[in-house]
Structure 1
Amino acid sequence: MQANRRNNKRAAFPARRQSNSKAFIFFALISLCAVGYYLWSARKAAEAKTAKAELDLGLEAARMVGAKFEKAAAVKVGVIKGTVVAKAEFKGRIFTPTQESLFPVTVDYFINLDRMGKEAYHWNARNGTLTIDMPDVTVAKPNIDEGAAIIRQHGSFISREAALAMARQVSVRAEAKSRAFAYDPKNMTKARENARTVVTNLALQPLKAAGMTNVRVAVSFPWEPKTYLNQPSQQWDRSRRPEEVIEGR
């Protein structure tokens, strides 16, 4: 009898050890899952915090640039000077005098920044770039310096009637030539490149003043490809003021 009891006790010990081992393994697995979930949650929280900080950075950058542009209103981005030549003639009964006039012309180019809405600003958190969709340059009315004009008249006899008629012709043609000069593709290209530089520098001013030196600024004209369309980007909330978006109201 005693021998049987000893044998039964010996047989029970391995069973208890096996049961304890299973419990330990189960507890270890539960602990491992808990630790893994905690680490995963912490990483997700950190990523969300970083994403929110990057979004707030972009929204704040857009707000600051927008405020700067509203105050700037129409900004002169270029001045181009040149000379236009206008010709005229007067067919009289006997003589046909002609006139050739050279006019100095000055053309100013502007960007109307105050017309830009919230939809003009796009923030890409991946590369820290604020893309600004700005309007095309506005061409001011050419300034024709008639006082500095060089006038050459040709003809054996030029009557007062002929002189007045040719002066009117020259004036009309000079205006047309000046408009063509202002919208010349080469001059427009130069004005737009100046506008890109001016607007970029103007946008960087408040950002640098606020210590946001890690924000890049890209300027885009209406007809240019929009790189942000193929990238995740953020705009201002159009239903709220920029200050409300930043403050999380």
Structure 2
Amino acid sequence: MRDDSIRDAKAGHFKTAVVTAILVGLTIVSIMLLVKHLQNADVGKDNRDIVTSVVRKASNRLEVQVINGAVTTAREASGGPFGIFEGRLTIRQPFSVSYHVDMNKMNLSDYSWNERAKTLFVRLPEIPPDAPNIDESRQIIVAKGWVITQEMQNIIRRKIAIGAVAQANSEALKPEHLKAARENARSALARNLEGPLEVAGVKGVHVEVIDSSAGERWDVSRSLAQVLASEAK
């Protein structure tokens, strides 16, 4: 009888150990699955609704760069009776060109939210220069010709106006100016998004601006537009 009792006790302990091992194993598997799920949950809903609301309201037009310079343009014209008069004007005039990021033209496909890292990824848009501002009030004019009629002056000035804009545009499109504008745009966008997000309650948020034109890859998780579109199905 005693041997049978011992055997029954051992069997009971063995069954308890097996059940305990199974429960521990299931718990470990559950924890592993939960961790894996959290690791894969790049786009979380905890703050996503707030982030989506903030970026939808972002409509600032941010000036990120201004260049200043001067262009010198010379043009000629003939006029008078039988076109006997020839005249030439050379005009030097200051100009400025601004570069802006228009956040109102950005949409949800330009943003991706990573809840775990509290990071908003932003795709940097194109930043073309604005139309040049030519300061005609500060012109320096050199005229050449015995007689330059008013009609000749009007013709020359129209040509110079067109030429001055083309020269200023050419300067504004130089790679060093475009690069500086894009670098300035990174910090400007980050500042204009981090502040409102913090105020809205997303604490410790970080904004990372990705410049595809500089070879940076937009290889983050789905954009806010893609997430909302999939949830709407």
Task: State the TM-score bracket (shorter-chain normalisation).
Answer: 0.7 to 0.9
**Structure 1 residue 217: Cα displacement:** 0.7
Letter in 1 for 2:180: K
| Alignment correspondent of 2:107 | 117
Q: Structure 1 residues 79, 125: closer, same or farther in 2, change over 3 A?
A: same
Q: What does residue 3 of structure 1 align with?
A: none
Structure with the greater alpha carbon radius of gyration? 1
AA of the residue aligned to 1:214 = G
Whole-Å separation in 1 of the counterparts to 2:84 and 2:116 = 78
Compare 145-154 and 60-69 and name the one that shifted more: 60-69
CA spacing shift, 1:35–1:239, aligned 2, 3 Å:
closer
Deviations 1:75-132 (A, max 9, x none): 3333222211111234677775432111111222222212222211112345432111
CA distance in 2, matches of 1:163, 1:127: 64
The two structures have a TM-score, normalised by structure 2, of 0.79
Counterpart among 216, 221, 224 of residue 236 in structure 1: 224
In structure 2, the residue matched to 1:41 is 30
Task: Please give the per-residue CA displacement for 1:153-207, whole angstroms capped at 9, x wherever unaligned.
Answer: 134x132154333323222211211221222222222222222221111011112
What's the counterpart of residue 130 of structure 1?
Answer: 120
Counterpart check, 1:98 vs 2:85: no
2:123–2:218 Cα contact (<8 Å) kept: no
Structure 1: gaps of 5 or more residues: 1-11
Gaps of 5+ in 2: none
Contact 1:110 1:140 in 2 (8 A): yes
Identity, % of aligned pairs?
A: 24
Number of residues paired by the alignment?
229
C-alpha distance in structure 1 between counterparts of 2:127 and 2:91, whole Å:
29
Deviation at 1:50, TM superposition (A): 8.6
Superposition RMSD in Å: 3.4
Q: Indicate the residue corresponding to 1:4 in structure 2.
A: none
Please tell me whether residue 24 in structure 1 is matched to residue 13 in structure 2: yes
Q: Tell me how far apart the structure 2 counterparts of residues 180 and 145 of structure 1 sit (CA, whole Å).
A: 17
Indicate the residue corresponding to 2:98 in structure 1.
108
Letter of the 1:236 counterpart: L
For structure 1, which segment, 127-136 or 83-92, has the greater mean C-alpha deviation from structure 2 after superposition?
A: 83-92
Q: CA contact under 8 A between 1:118 and 1:236: conserved in structure 2?
A: yes
Give the direction of change, closer, same or farther, for the CA distance of 1:63–1:153 in structure 2 (3 Å limit): same
Instruction: Give me the TM-score of the superposition, normalised by structure 1.
Output: 0.75
Q: Which range is displaced more, 13-22 or 51-60?
A: 51-60
